[in-house]
Amino acid sequence: MEALNSTFLYCDQLVRDFEKVIKTPIVNKSAVYYTGIDLGTAYIVLAVLDENYQPVAGAYRFASVVKDGMVVDYIGAIRIVRELKQELEQKLGTELIYAAAALPPGTFTLDSGAIKHVVQGAGFEITNLLDEPTAANAVLKIKDGAIVDIGGGTTGIAILKDGKVIHVADEPTGGTHFSLVIAGAYKLSFDEADQYKRDFKNHRELTPVLRPVIEKVSSIINRHVADYQVKEIYLVGGTCCLEGIEDIIAKQTNLPTYKPQNPMFVTPLGIALNC
């Protein structure tokens, strides 16, 4: 389904600007910098905004330090965040002080302490710790509907009514499972399968292979939206980069389903906006 262009104007521009500064940072004289840290199952992403909340730098690294929203390699997580921080500080010629981070919905009591300590352990002053859908919606600015964040380890669902989150859930199916399906079907290692999946050239060919797992994600969405008269679904998260995933989800849920041009960086940018 076509993206709702007007809904995603701000989002698409912000993500495009962010993709540019990942490659070429903007060295300016901002009085303050805000860093958003997204500690994911598959990636750790740092997004840096200037005093006008414009992207100036960004970096990400493939990492297995978090599983289903839980930090499983605490030391490794601190090391990677610190390395990415130093890399960005070098590029920007300034110290990055303030950072915010986020957690999948429903895991606050489980792991907010660990995430906070990772951010502080890497040398940041933590200014905010929020839930991922709230972060994503700082970029999407949706009033009513469901934000579905299909990440690496999990699918997060947040239902919004009049701009307020009224229901959240986080279920253990995500891009990791997609890669496992490809590994099985093509007799590849997990890493090879994940790489194959991330190549946009392969998406068309992969659709029939991945259809059952996309249908499983759709059934999870259906279960959560059933009681809330949800009229629209908005997709974010790296797994939604998969071409055509929105069409299968729209068909399975019977709901218009939209996604921004690059759904992968929406949450990290939303975290930085809340710093």
Which residues contribute to the site for ligand ATP (CB under 6 A)? 38, 40-43, 66, 69, 151-154, 174-176, 179, 194, 197-198, 200, 237-239, 241-242, 264
Closest CB to ligand ATP among 113 and 163? 113
Which one, 94 or 179, has the nearer CB to ligand ATP? 179
Residues 6+ apart with CB under 8 A from 126: 99, 100, 101, 116, 119, 120
Minimum gap (Å) between residue 178 Cβ and ligand ATP: 6
Burial track 217-241 (b if 16+ CB lie within 10 A, e otherwise):
bbebbeebbeeeebebbbbbbbbbb
The residue among 176 and 253 lying less far from ligand ATP, judged by its C-beta, is: 176
Least gap, CB of 125 to ligand ATP (angstroms): 23
* Residue number with CB closer to ligand ATP (17 or 243): 243
Identity at 259, one-letter amino acid code = K
Separation between Cα atoms, residue 120 and residue 166, nearest integer Å: 31
Closest approach of ligand ATP to the CB of residue 200, in Å = 6
Phi-psi region of 74 (alpha: psi -120 to 50; beta: other; left: phi over 0): alpha
The CB-of-26 to ligand ATP minimum distance in angstroms stands at 23
Nearer to ligand ATP (CB atom), residue 36 or residue 237? 237
Least separation in angstroms between CB 25 and ligand ATP: 21
How far apart, in whole angstroms, are the C-alpha atoms of residue 8 and residue 259? 8
Burial-class residue 197 by CB neighbours within 10 Å (0-12, 13-18, 19+).
buried
Task: For ligand ATP, give the closer residue by CB, 58 or 174.
Answer: 174
- In whole angstroms, the minimum distance from the beta carbon of 175 to ligand ATP comes to 2
Q: Report long-range pairs for 211-216 (Cβ below 8 Å, ≥24 apart).
A: 211/248, 212/181, 213/173, 213/177, 213/178, 213/181, 214/242, 214/245, 214/248, 214/249, 214/252, 215/248, 215/252, 216/173
Other C-beta atoms closer than 10 Å to the C-beta of 141 total: 12
Q: Which is nearer to ligand ATP, 10 or 200 (CB)?
A: 200
> What's the closest the beta carbon of residue 32 comes to ligand ATP, in angstroms?
26
